[in-house]
């Protein structure tokens, strides 16, 4: 019973991927409702909120405890979700999305911290793997569920679901979860300490390369999430439900690579796998451009080559994370994880913002992804060289 209860508590981490992906099928209707061609900004402001909050939740959880910070985060998230449901203009929607991100960010960071508190070292790997598995399957489920909700209730349906999800977990954490931290760190939130930690990390060349490569990969992933519904529903005229199924199949690449990556790491170094992932980003984008030049643009000339690009992102995500954390001094691994996530989501925010600035076609989108992929290769090579240099000088 206790294990089932802890699983329920740790599953709070599903809020973030659901909040990011469930409404994608509603993009076309939302654009019409709010009379804007920049509806992708709802994803941009969400990424900005997630990125900014990453830097602060870790220290706050260590200073004040897991439960109070998580409860506050869920209150912010739920309030913002309510604001979104009753949004009457685009600016109100964007403000709601920003605070929704600020609130939901607490769920993933807190879940990982609670797992470290509760499980012994030999069981922690299993617990973290469970959290990653929960998070990893959500991108396949959320768009499909969102498509069904869009068909039944319109764009409000997805955000009503997110609101109810927030209320449910607020009740779970408030009444069923007991504080897990044994000793609070009274110095965790000192600004100078935080500044020194982040500055020292940014001086490590391999760390620089890994976080920048991850930022590029997140830029590709969230750009595709933002562009796909506009292209598949708006340009190719597929139904909302068909889009959900197509996007779910694309997300299976993430699940497949999460299984393959640990096995590949036994034969290849982390830096080699990161560089391979970046190469897959470029390969998928290049094939998309070529297919759309040779043939008339259609669902196959977009989705099939972009599946290769998704494989590249899925290879970069776990390997770049492992590379960044392993290159950081042990006593500031928490800060390293926070800075890694900050840069990743910032990359997603910048890419989705830039994507709203030009007319959406398959070739335009693929060219955009190609540029990001080439930047990812440069950053991955920087990580590889930095890692090799650090091994020599160690």
Are 210 and 324 in contact, with CB atoms under 8 Å apart? yes
pLDDT recorded at residue 218: 92
Average pLDDT for 150-154: 92
Please state at what angle helix 41-64 crosses helix 205-229, rounded to 10 degrees.
Answer: 130
Measured CA to CA, the distance from residue 316 to residue 270 in angstroms comes to 9
pLDDT recorded at residue 186: 76
Q: What is the token pair recorded at 190?
A: 């000192």
pLDDT tier for residue 393 given thresholds of 50, 70 and 90: very low
Are 19 and 139 in contact, with CB atoms under 8 Å apart? no
Measured CA to CA, the distance from residue 317 to residue 261 in angstroms comes to 10
Q: What percent of the chain is predicted at pLDDT more than 70?
A: 93
Measured CA to CA, the distance from residue 15 to residue 233 in angstroms comes to 25
Q: What tens digit of pLDDT does each residue of 233-242 get?
A: 889 999 888 9
pLDDT recorded at residue 82: 97
pLDDT of residue 119 exceeding 80, the answer is: no
Q: What tens digit of pLDDT does each residue of 30-63 get?
A: 999 999 888 889 999 999 999 899 888 878 888 8
Are 8 and 172 in contact, with CB atoms under 8 Å apart? yes
pLDDT of residue 105 exceeding 60, the answer is: yes
3-state class of 87 per DSSP? coil
- The whole model's pTM is what? 0.83
Measured CA to CA, the distance from residue 288 to residue 299 in angstroms comes to 11
Measured CA to CA, the distance from residue 332 to residue 305 in angstroms comes to 39
Q: What tens digit of pLDDT does each residue of 256-296 get?
A: 887 787 788 788 888 899 999 999 999 999 999 999 999 99
Least confident interval from 185-194, 239-248, 334-343: 185-194
pLDDT recorded at residue 334: 67
Average pLDDT over the chain, rounded to an integer: 87
Measured CA to CA, the distance from residue 288 to residue 308 in angstroms comes to 10
Q: What is the token pair recorded at 335?
A: 């800060």
pLDDT tier for residue 248 given thresholds of 50, 70 and 90: confident
């Amino acid at each position: 019973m206790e294990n089932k209860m802890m699983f329920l508590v740790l599953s709070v981490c599903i809020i973030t991927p659901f909040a990011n992906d469930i409404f994608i099928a509603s993009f076309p209707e939302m654009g019409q409702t709010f009379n804007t061609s920049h509806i992708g900004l709802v994803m941009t402001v969400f990424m900005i909120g997630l990125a900014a909050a990453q830097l602060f939740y870790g220290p706050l959880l260590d200073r004040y405890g897991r439960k109070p910070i998580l409860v506050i985060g869920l209150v912010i998230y739920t309030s913002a979700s309510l604001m979104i449901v009753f949004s009457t203009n685009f600016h109100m929607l964007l403000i709601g999305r920003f605070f929704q991100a600020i609130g939901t960010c607490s769920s993933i960071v807190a879940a990982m911290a609670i797992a470290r508190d509760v499980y012994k070292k030999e069981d922690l790997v299993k617990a973290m793997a469970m959290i990653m598995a929960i998070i990893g399957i959500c991108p396949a489920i959320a768009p499909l569920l969102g498509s069904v909700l869009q068909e039944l209730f319109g764009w409000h349906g997805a955000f009503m679901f997110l609101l109810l999800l927030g209320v449910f977990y607020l009740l779970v954490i408030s009444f069923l979860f007991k504080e897990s931290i044994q000793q609070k760190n009274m110095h965790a939130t000192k600004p100078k300490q935080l500044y020194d930690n982040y500055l020292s990390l940014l001086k490590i060349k391999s760390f620089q390369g890994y976080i920048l490569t991850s930022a590029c990969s997140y830029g590709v992933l969230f750009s595709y999430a933002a562009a796909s519904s506009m292209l598949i529903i708006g340009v190719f005229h597929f139904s909302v439900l068909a889009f959900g199924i197509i996007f779910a199949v694309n997300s299976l690449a993430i699940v497949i690579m999460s299984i393959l990556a640990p096995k590949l790491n036994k034969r290849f170094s982390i830096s080699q796998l990161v560089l391979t992932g970046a190469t897959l980003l470029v390969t998928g984008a290049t094939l998309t451009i070529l297919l759309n030049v040779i043939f008339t643009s259609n669902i196959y000339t977009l989705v099939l080559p972009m599946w290769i690009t998704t494989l590249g992102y899925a290879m970069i995500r776990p390997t770049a994370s492992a590379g960044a954390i392993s290159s950081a001094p042990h006593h500031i691994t928490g800060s390293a994880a926070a800075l890694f996530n900050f840069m990743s989501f910032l990359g997603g925010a910048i890419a989705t913002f830039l994507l709203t600035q030009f007319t959406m076609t398959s070739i335009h989108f693929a060219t955009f992804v190609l540029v990001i992929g080439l930047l990812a290769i440069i950053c991955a090579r920087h990580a590889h060289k930095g890692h090799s240099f650090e091994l020599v000088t160690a």
